[in-house]
Structures are given as C-alpha cells and as structure tokens.
Amino acid sequence: MVYITEDMVRRRAEHNECEIFSLEEVSLHQQDIERIEHIDRWCRDLKILYLQNNLIPRIENVGRLKKLQYLNLALNNIEVIENLEGCESLQKLDLTVNFVGRLSSVESLQRNVHLTEMFLVGNPCAEFQGYRQYVVASLPRLQRLDGTEISRSERIRAAQGLEQVERRVREQENVYLKRRARETEEAQGKEAGEEKGNKERKAGFDGRWYTDINNTAPVLGENKENQEVKENRASPDLDDERREKEFWHTPCSFTPESRVEVHRHLEEKKKTKEKEREKKPKAPRTLITDKGRVMNVNEPKLDFALTEDEENNTIVLNLEVFRHMDSSLIDVDVQPTYARVIVKGKIFQMVLPAEVKPDSSTAQRSQTTGHLVLTMPRVEGEIKGTNIVPRPPRVCRSRRRPSEDNNRNNVPERLEVEPSELTAVDLANIVSCRSVKGGPLETSRIAPPPATGHSSFSDGFVDDPDVPPLV
C-alpha cells in the first residue's frame, strides 16, 4: 500500500521552490495511492489536485481545501460521491472511469455553488436510464456534463419530469447495489481461497495428489491430465506460464476488487523480475578503458546537441531530458575532457572536443522544455599537439664517372653533398672587373699549364691541333 508522504509532495513542488504550505497545484497521478490523506493539512492553498490513475476507493480528507477549484479523480475505485461539501470553490470535478453506481449521491454536490463542469462517463451510473436528466435536474448550476454543454431547454425538460426519472433511477440503483453485494462476497471468498491455497503450497501440498515423478513406469489409471500435471511439476517454468495464461484469459467482471487484483498481480510479477535481476547482476558498462580512453555512452537514449560558442569561448551541451521528470533524479559530473550525466540511474557520457574548466561550468534546466544545458568554458591558452615529421638524415651519395679507359680506376671518387654543406664561393673572382671605359665585361681565359719535360698523357696519345683546348 502506497501512502502520501511529505517527501512525495515536496518532490513535486519544484516550481514552488519545494515549499508545500503555499502550494497551489500538485500532481500525484499514477502512484498506486490507496487513500487520500494529509493533503488538507499540508497544502491549505491548493487550487488544483491531480489524483488520477490510482487505487483510491473513497473521497476523503479534502473538505478543508477551501480554495480547491479542480479535482481530478479519474481511473480510481470510487463508488460514492461524498465529502466535497467543504470545497467551497470547486468548479470542476472529474470522476471518469470509476465505479459510481449510487447516482443519488450527486445530490451532495448541491452545496458546491461554483461547480460548473463534471465528468461521470465510464461509471455504472452513466448506463442508467434517465441518467443525464437526473443529474441536470439535481445540479441546476451545472453548465457542462461529460463534455457536453447543458442548454436551457434541456434544463427545463429535466425539471418537468424529475419525479418519474428519480423513481426510475432509484429502482436501477437497488438492482445495481444487490449485484454489487454479490460481487463483493464472491471477491472475498475468492481471496480467502487464494490465501488458503498459498498456505498449503508453502506447506508443500497444492491440493492434489500426484504419482511419483521419478517413476517412469506406466501407472494404472493414469490419464492425459495426470501426465500434464507431472510435466508441470517437473518444470516450474511451464507451471508459471500456465498460471499466467489462466489469470489473463479467465473472464471476470470489472469491479474495484478485480482492478486491485490485477494491480497486485503486476506488482508480484515486477518483484519477481527484480529478484531475478539481483541474482544475475548485470556487467558494468565500460566508461573508461584500461588505456584511459573515455567512451561515449547514451544509456537513456536521449537526443542531444554539442556546440561550440566561439564568442564566449565555451562548449554547450543541450541534453533533451524528459520534461516532467524531477531534477533530483539527475546527477551531473563535468571533467576537463568529458561530461557525464546520470538520468534515473542511466549514464550519458560525452567526450568534449576541447579541454574545459569544471569549476567554472554551469548546469541549468529549462522551465518550458525541461532540457538540461551544460555551459563549459574552455581552457585559455590550450596547447594542441602537432605531428612533428622527423628530418631525414644526411646521406652522402657517390657517383662514379664513366670512363672508357680501365686504367683510370685509381682516380678518387667525387662526392655529392647537399647545397647547405657547400663552402662559400668567392664571387669576385668569377668574372673580371669592368673596364674603365664602361665596356662589357672581359672574360679571362685560363692559362694553359706550363710545359714541362714530363708528359702526363698516356702512351699512344695523339694531339690534334684542331681540337680546342679544355677550359
């Protein structure tokens, strides 16, 4: 059973800075609440109260809410309209898909003079003959019923035949209440039988006698049903599947008891799955590898946008968090190279394109869209690494001049070096100086070597005078 606690209300008062004494609107829908309590003492200024899709069987503890204007109790187990006389400012009441069968209980709303709109569609009383005429005549200030406006002519016709309609409604109420009493007895008997069966199962006996499972020999009188029973006992998974199939395919009437039974069944199934998950722990997700590499992770599967603001020198991460989710379920951690956001236990991690300052980063949430915006300033004077290409080593390459004579093998080889290693050349001795008359430069010929008695030419050399000398 779920109770309304102060922490539950305070977590839904973010728009009011978590203050509940001055709260004007609170939403407690889909919380499996089975009783209305504490609201009238904690939130005296409440104007709007959402309690739809719970398991509330009675309207209670709301009479002190003098400023309450809208009360939503759709999809609950309410059977009687009551305890709303103290809500002096009530203007709209929603009781869609409940179990209101006592239509005469709408007369308790005659003191709510500001009530102008009400929803009773989906209730057993809405199937009564003369239902709309009776409600219109009982509440003369009502302007809309089940989303349809009440015209002046309809109000006049409802007031004219009120006695006959009222008598017909009373008869249908009595029939419904008798049927409802039988359904309540059947539900109580079924619940007592289930409790007894659970006790017997815990004791090791489920109400039927079985033959030995390990006995493979045929048993006299054994039929197909006994064989199926033995198979089910041998495999618990098949037995659970059979029970699950019987639960959902067995027809039953739509009553508050059946709705609570379905809820209990789903809760047990959920707890069983949680126990199985605890037995088999899930392997932790790798966020940072052994080599120190940060991984990008998006477990909650949220849309996001990562942009760089060059003007402000910041990196902005816009994470589209669920709009109506409480901010207490979000945890933000900004590191110099990555940002991590935990949303309801699921991890979102993003590697940043540049190094940021975690201490100067801010996390804000939009009040309209609910998106989470992380503003992270970049580190000033960031040094980015560059790929340095090493200079190849200096290599001295040799080149042998081709020679026609094999006797010149003893000539030393010439080496080629890079231009940077060449010695400085005296440019003044390359050409002769200009003449005094300003004529063209005079080229100088290299003087032939002086004649010596020793000839450096090889044997058999013939000197041709027509061949110009080598310079």
Whichever domain contains 323, its CATH number is 2.60.40.790
Whether residue 166 sits in one domain with residue 18: yes
Among candidates 324, 385, 353, 276, which has minimal Cα distance to 28? 324
Looking at residue 170, its pLDDT comes to 93
Looking at residue 297, its pLDDT comes to 92
Residue 42 and residue 21: Cα distance in Å, rounded?
6
**Element housing 134 (H / E):** helix 131-138
Phi, psi of 173 (to 5 degrees): -65, -45
Whichever domain contains 74, its CATH number is 3.80.10.10
Neighbours of 24 (CB within 10 A): 15
Pairing of strands 297-298, 338-343: unpaired
pLDDT higher for 86 or 462?
86
Looking at residue 253, its pLDDT comes to 79
Residue 111 and residue 92: Cα distance in Å, rounded?
14
Q: What percent of the chain has pLDDT over 70?
A: 73
Whether residue 170 sits in one domain with residue 301: no
pLDDT higher for 202 or 177?
177
Among candidates 70, 108, 109, 117, which has minimal Cα distance to 89? 70
Residue 460: inside a domain? no
Among candidates 54, 72, 53, 74, which has minimal Cα distance to 62? 72
Looking at residue 208, its pLDDT comes to 45
Residue 290: half-sphere exposure toward Cβ, Cα within 13 Å: 0
Residue 427: half-sphere exposure toward Cβ, Cα within 13 Å: 0
Residue 230: inside a domain? no
Residue 39 and residue 47: Cα distance in Å, rounded?
12
Single-letter code of the amino acid located at 359: D
In sequence order, the 6+-apart residues with CB closer than 8 A to the CB of 209 are none
pLDDT tens digit sequence for 241-265: 888 888 788 787 788 888 888 888 8
Looking at residue 217, its pLDDT comes to 42
Which 8-state DSSP code applies to residue 2? B
Question: What integer is the mean pLDDT of 391-403?
Answer: 50
Residue where one domain finishes, among candidates 324, 345, 377: 377
Which 8-state DSSP code applies to residue 380? T
In sequence order, the 6+-apart residues with CB closer than 8 A to the CB of 145 are 117, 118, 119, 120, 132, 135, 136
Least confident of 233-247, 259-273, 363-377, 404-418: 404-418
Residue 265: inside a domain? no
Strand ranges, E, within 188-345:
297-298, 304-309, 314-319, 330-334, 338-343
Least confident of 61-75, 78-92, 165-179, 276-290: 276-290
Residue 342: inside a domain? yes
Number of domains in the chain: 2
Mean pLDDT of the chain: 79
pLDDT at residue 9 tops 50: yes
Which of 59-63, 237-241, 264-268, 446-450 has the highest mean predicted lDDT (pLDDT)? 59-63
Looking at residue 398, its pLDDT comes to 44
In sequence order, the 6+-apart residues with CB closer than 8 A to the CB of 453 are none
CB 355 within 8 A of CB 337: yes
Looking at residue 212, its pLDDT comes to 43
Residue where one domain finishes, among candidates 122, 144, 175: 175
pLDDT tens digit sequence for 113-144: 999 999 999 999 999 999 999 999 999 999 99
Looking at residue 466, its pLDDT comes to 80
Whether residue 312 sits in one domain with residue 164: no
- Intra-chain end-to-end CA distance of the chain, in Å: 116
Whether residue 162 sits in one domain with residue 22: yes
Least confident of 101-105, 205-209, 393-397, 450-454: 205-209
SS3 332: strand
Least confident of 10-19, 110-119, 342-351, 449-458: 449-458
What would you measure as the largest C-alpha separation in the chain, in angstroms? 161
Residue 311 and residue 427: Cα distance in Å, rounded?
57
Looking at residue 436, its pLDDT comes to 45
Residue where one domain finishes, among candidates 175, 204, 235: 175
pLDDT at residue 230 tops 50: no
CB 59 within 8 A of CB 83: yes
SS3 452: coil
Looking at residue 216, its pLDDT comes to 43
Reading the block at residue 65, the tokens are 């809410």
Q: Which domain holds residue 154?
A: 6-175
pLDDT at residue 304 tops 60: yes
pLDDT tens digit sequence for 445-455: 445 555 554 55
pLDDT tens digit sequence for 65-89: 999 999 999 999 999 999 999 999 9
User: Model confidence at 338, in pLDDT bands (50, 70, 90)?
Assistant: very high
Question: What integer is the mean pLDDT of 393-412?
Answer: 50
45, 62, 305, 379, 420 from 359: Cα distances, Å = 40, 48, 22, 11, 53
Whether residue 162 sits in one domain with residue 26: yes
Residue 385: inside a domain? no
Whether residue 310 sits in one domain with residue 171: no
Residue 348: inside a domain? yes
Dump the DSSP string for 22-81. T--EEE--SS-B----SHHHH-TT--EEE--SS---S--S-TT-TT--EEE--SS---S-
Least confident of 48-62, 421-435, 447-461: 421-435
Residue 10: inside a domain? yes
Residue 448: inside a domain? no
pLDDT higher for 218 or 67?
67
